[in-house]
Amino acid sequence: MSLMELIIPILASLVFAVVAPVVGCLLAGVDRILSARMQGRVGPPLLQPYYDVRKLMGKERVDVNTVQGAYVVCAFIFACLAGGIFFSGGNLLMCVFIITLSSLFLIMAAWSTRSPYAEVGAARETMQVMSYEPMVLLFAVAFYMATALILPTEGIGSFNVGAAFSLDFPVIAYIWPVFLGLLFILTIKLRKSPFDLSMSHHAHQEIVRGITTEMSGSTLALVEVLHWCENVLFLGWVSIFFVWGAWWSVLIAIVVALAVYFLEILIDNNFARVKWQFMLKSAWAVALVGGGINIAVLAFV
């Protein structure tokens, strides 16, 4: 690996750490406004998520131990690194592994508190990771196989996100079942109903907030910013299905990503939360049908 191949993802991660929270904050504000409208309420202002985080940053942090905050910081760093790798055109599979590592650090932060509520949230978060991870890995593999069919390189594909900009047409043409599968597990990744089991943002579903029960002040604020960054990254995953060699394909990808986000908000406000057993079974079934069959077909194309 050359020095530039190492420097570019690091610089991109720093840019992502600055830009993604801004974009994610605006998306969260739009989410609250649209949710309020769907429920017949006026709703908060667009920048209410920023006001909430700023208020948390000004409060005293009361950690139950000395490692909880460190775990949350590590989760945020790895989320930014995953975003930097993806948006700099880096390896998609590496991006998937790193964002999963970020989730594991958040789980460790909850477990370290030894609080029964936080431990239940951590157990649910672990179950969520087990539910969506097969589909996410199949998404990366399917992207490689689709680029192998489209790129003029004698059947050699690429995990690099930047390879999508060298295609004659988008990978959605070959892996649309994987796209539908990704949309299904995206509800888990974005922490929306009916799969918001570990950290519910609806007061009528949880009195205590699961995995973040024992977090406060700047630690809790960083968890919220982490969630904003994750949302931007996951919508980037959606957009990669619609990008090809034409520059204006980026505009199409952005429009599709925003439409998917609106769909997730609609689902969030119209479906009651399910049990973790249903989440695990349905996510694995979707991975098998949408991902497994799609990849099996591509193997024989």
Convert the pLDDT of each residue in 17-66 to its tens digit.
999 999 999 999 999 999 999 988 888 999 999 999 999 988 877 777 78
Residue among 212, 240, 216, 242 at smallest CA distance from 227: 212
pLDDT of residue 108: 93
Reported as a pLDDT band with limits 50, 70 and 90, residue 174 is: very high
Give the other-Cβ count within 10 Å of 44's Cβ.
15
- 272: tokens are 């009651």
Is residue 229 within 8 A of residue 79, CB to CB? The reply is yes
The CA distance from 227 to 1, in Å, is 31
Q: Higher confidence at residue 5 or residue 289? A: 289
What percentage of the chain has pLDDT greater than the value 70? 94
- The pTM of this model reads 0.93
Distance CA 277, CA 269 (A): 21
Please list, residue by residue across 167-205, b when 16 or more beta carbons sit within 10 angstroms of its beta carbon and e when fewer do.
beebbbebbebbbebbbbbbbbbbbbbbbbbbbbbeeee
81-90, 118-127, 279-288: range with lowest mean pLDDT:
118-127
- pLDDT band at residue 156 using 50, 70 and 90 as cut-offs: confident
- Hey, what amino acid is at 153? T
Residue 233 is predicted with a pLDDT of: 97
Q: What is the pLDDT of residue 270?
A: 87
Spell out the residues 6+ positions from residue 203 whose beta carbon is closer than 8 angstroms to its own: none
What local confidence, expressed as pLDDT, does residue 62 receive?
74
* Residue of 162, 133, 125 lying closest to 147 (CA atoms): 162
Long-range contacts of 37-46 (CB under 8 A, 24+ apart): 38/265, 38/266, 38/269, 38/270, 39/269
Which of the four pLDDT bands, split at 50, 70 and 90, describes residue 206? low
Across the chain, mean pLDDT equals: 89
> How large a percentage of the chain has pLDDT more than 90?
61
